[in-house]
Every structure is written in structure tokens, then in C-alpha cells.
Chains A and B, each alone.
Chain A
Amino acid sequence: MVTKTISPSRGPAKTSGRDRAERKLAFRMTAPSLVIMALVAAVPIGYAIWLSLNQYSVRTAGLSRFVGLENYINALASQEWWAAFGQTFLFAGLSVSLELVLGTAMALLLNLAFKGRAVLRTVVLLPYAIITVVSAITWQTMFQPNMGLVTNVLSTLGLPGGDVVWLGEHGYAMAVIVMADVWKTTPFAALIILAGLQVISAETYEAAELDGASKWQTFVNITLPLLRPAIVLAAIFRTMDALRVFDLPFVLTRGANGTESMSMLAYTQLRENRLVGEGSALSILTFLTVMVVSVIYVRFAGGNIRDVAKEEQ
């Protein structure tokens, strides 16, 4: 790269002075965006944290008293929080793993050379372009008992599930929500993985072929390890999204039948019950949960990537 070729030609003493000046300039140039970032990100977070340390009176509008960590203690001691916590993780685990498997398969297919590939790559993204609430309503209609498409087809074919009230039963309701999410966001995962796939050079495959590797061996020993960074990236994005899930259960079940997510719980307290302190504490807990999971991902999965990269060299 350009910078690399220039820097060695500079004298070491001079560079530090110049570097400092340059760094100062860089700071000055980025300062406006930093300020905006702080306003957009830090201020609301700070405000939410402050709100979560207070209890707001429902009796008298705006009256608040400082309660420290009481809202957090109450939330962590409540059954609802842990139920929502477990349900959200169950949803995230199921949907993200399905999305990654299907997304990888989809990416491999889209990477093949065939006629109309460009068109198909675009078409495949359509579900992702549909607003979640709209797709949730579509899924709700499809699983409608008595007249829904899915239930009708299943019962006409005599398959199990035709007489099940999908959104009214434990287990089934979660299955519909996972399906809706997988349908919508698999293309997104596929796109990221496809990008990773395209970076793998054809020469590697040629070499493998010359060495007599089978298709499966090539996939397991070459494609998958080299795809890993892309898959991890897709996993991070999808997990963060899945842990904040709100619209699907809100539209499909209103949280009934073991589908209430952490975000829904926060919404109910904040918006419906106007319990600002309790609701803010719940959103902060959701935020921390997402944060911790992402850090774990970056730490462990990220470390693996580095090892893989080293091995290659």
C-alpha cells in the first residue's frame, strides 16, 4: 500500500514531530463527527442510565426519586425478566444457526457460474427488503388456523400440523417466529458469506484439484476455514439483531406462548405502563446482554480467526 512505501524513507526523529502534527490535524478534522457521535450515541445512553436509576411516580407526572440500583435488582429478581431472557436466547440461537447454515448453502449456490446469476442475486434479497412488521403480518396470515395457506396445505396433504393452532401453542409459536426471521434474514447472511467466498482465489481450488481432493474435502478443508471470518461477521450481526427482537413476537403473538423477548418487556414497561425507571433499567439490561455477547464473539471467534490466518502463513 501507498503509506507503507512512503514511511520508511522518513527520518525517525522528524517523523514523530510530523506524526504529532498530523495526528493533531486528524483529530481536528474528525472532531465534528466525534461530537455528533457523542450527541447521538453517548447522550441517550447516559440519559437512559440516569432514568434507570430513578423511580418515576405514576401518581404525579414527572415526580422522581433516586433509587440507585433498585430497578435493576427488581428486574433481576423477577421471573418475567429471566423468562424473556431465556426465550430471547432460544430464539437467537435457533434462528442464527439456521440462518448461517442456509446462508452458507445459498452463498455457495449463488457463487456458481450460471445464466441469470446477477438477477437471482438481486431477487434473493427481496425478503430482506420487506419491512419486518409487514412480513410478520404475512406469516400470521399464512399460519392462520382454518384459512391460512400453510395450515390448509398441511391438512389437505394429510400431514401433521394441519390442525394445529400454530400461534396459539407453546413451541409452535416460537417455530413460526424463527421461520419468519430465517426467511427474512437468510439472504442477508448469504450476501456477507458470498462476499467472503468471492475473495477465495480460484488458484487454491485448482491446487486442491491437482492434489486429488474430493469436492467434500475441498469444502471442509479449504472453503469453510477461509469463509470463517465472513461467517463470524454474519453471526455477530445476526446475533445482535436477534437479541433485540421485538417486531416479530409483537405482531405474531404479543408475547404469548413463551415468545416474550427482552425488548418487548422493556417496551411494555416504558410505553404502556409509563414506568420510565423500570423500563429504562430493562433496556439497559438488554443493551448489556447484547454488548456482552458481542464482546465474547469478538474475543473468541476473533482470536480463532487470527490463529487461522497465522497457520495459513
Chain B
Amino acid sequence: MRKKEMIAMLLAGGQGSRLVPLTLDVAKPAVDFGGKYKIIDFPLSNCTNSGIDTVGILTQYRPFLLNTHIGTGSAWDLNSMHGGTAILPPYTTEEGGAWYKGTANAIYQNIQYIDRYDPDHVLILSGDHIYKMDYNKMLKEHKKQGADVTIAALTVTLEEATRFGIMNVRDDNIIYEFEEKPEKPKSNLASMGIYIFKWSELKKYLIEDEKNSDSANDFGMNILPKMLDDGLKMIVHPFKGYWKDVGTINSLWEANMDLLDENNDLNLHTNDWKIYTSGEPKGAAYFGENAVVENSMVVDGCEVYGSIKSTVLFPGVIIEEGAIVKNSVLFPNVKIGRGVILDRVIVGENTNVLSGTHAGDTTIKVIPQNKTIK
């Protein structure tokens, strides 16, 4: 096996309980986003665009669709002879088996996989966020500072800060305190859950943490505070740009709506940081004689005969004549019948909405997948 400077470990086992019913059949990283993508496409594309060619993907909750989506990793150019993607579910050993207990335990259980590549550093990612980021820049900073741990950080408002792991830093970006979801935050630097660790250090701490039966085996709660206590060098890597946790129905909807703003920071239309996804190609979108399309996103494989406004369509969606769809997100192969009116709705995959008016209000309404609404 060729030695790697850094490999990535992508935590993709999240259940996404606040996204129910959209996560009843799939893990959160496999939830659809942005007209043709799944959430996990963003960290995977970031990896390949950052020059990381080895990504271990840790799965646990309903992995089937996620595994199918990732396949050989070729869609992200990660079907490499030396590395590439590896799906890492929990497994059994001669001593029995166990589910991944926490984020740190998931990595602990895969020490053997990481050691195969003998990396100097390990990048820990989660499959829950929408953002573009050059992890290589972060690695450069990590190496330049000679840090043991580098944590990507986002500037949030003080109100939001209560929901995040907050880092209090000195002028030189060195962290002196780490507070998980503080009631009275002292700073607004929030952890994005993206860490680069010196592998030799992390491995030691993972093994030690595993021996502690009181530990929740979690990076934010256990590993990072312990490292800080022990005086390891921990720095922040400030991130500027679009970043969204799409953990709730409303935030998932908002993130989709953000794409309709031409000047949005995510900008999927640039060529220099492509987001890749897998799936079969479909023909160009067709618009009927009387179609009305305003401020919307439409992808190959759609047929629009009715009217859409501020709406995001996924492949295979059909909007019949006379239907009016506003402020909505329609997942793959959704069919909207004649005369149907939708406003502030997310419709799950393969659902036919054949009649009626469906509208959300302050919370977005979800019509679940694989249904026929008559």
C-alpha cells in the first residue's frame, strides 16, 4: 500500500431524525439537494477537488441507497487503484461486534483501515453539510503551524452559538478553550465538525477513550476537550463562504431556495470547483407550449407543461398543464397533476400528487416519498 500524507474519514451514518419522513428510507447524507445532488456529494466533491484520493465512508443507518449512490466512487473520480472510496459499516470480530457508539468510536473501529495507508494526518468529515471547501488549504495551515489538531470554524451570531461547539482562541488562532453548546458563548467561532488530526496523536487518544466506559466516544464531547487538557496544539482554520447544516425540513428547504439567488455564495455554476454526483444521464428538460417558468431551477429529465415559480425540480419531475407550483422542492420522479396547487412544499421521491391544494406555512409541508395523493 502506498503511504498517504492525509486520508479522509467521512461520517455518513447519521439518521437525520429531524428530516423525517424524508429520512425514513435513507441516511441523512443521501437526502436529495439542489436539483440533482445528495448532501454527501458536497464533502466527496470537496475531497476530490482538494486532491484527497482516499476516503473511508462510515455508514450505519439505512445504508443501502447510500452505498448504491457511492458505488465504486467513480462519479467523484475516487475509483483509484491506490486508495479511492471504501464503505466502512460496523463489523464483527472474533470478540463479537458492535454498532458505532459515537463519532470517535466509529473511527476507533476503523484504525486498521487508516493504518493501511500510514497517513501523517487524518481529515474527519461529516456528510450533513452543504459547502465548498479546499481541505488542502486547511492541511497547509495545519502543517505550517505544526498543529496536532486543526478545526474548521465558522463565524456565527451569538444566538446561534449556543447550538454549536464554540472555540475560544488567542490572537494567533490557537484554541485555549472548547465549549460544546455553551449557554453563554464567549466567542462566535463555531466548529464545523471538520477536523484534521495528526494521526499518531489521534490514534493514541482513540485507544485511550475506548477504555473509558464513561465516555460517550464523541469527538466534540470527549476527544477534543481531553486533547486540550493535555496541552496539545489545537488551532482554528477560519472558513468564509456558504455553509449550511440541512438538518431540519425548514433548513433543507431554505438551502434549496438559496440556490435560486443568482449571487448565492455556493454558486454551482462555476467550473473551477465542480460538485459531482452519480446517476444515469437523462435528456434535456422539455417545456410545453404554455409552460411558465420563473426564478426556478430545472434539471435534465424534467417535463414542464404547467407553471413553476421559485421552485427546484429534480430529474424526472413532470408538471402537468394547469398545475401551479410555488416555493417548493420536488424530488426525483415526482408527478404533479393538472390543477394541483403547491406552495412551500417538499415532495419526496416518486410521489404522484394528482389533485388538491397543498401548502405549508411557517413550517414547510412535506409530502412523503412513494405515495399517490388523489
A and B physically associate: no
Residues of A that sit less than 8 Å from B by CB: none
Residues of B that sit less than 8 Å from A by CB: none
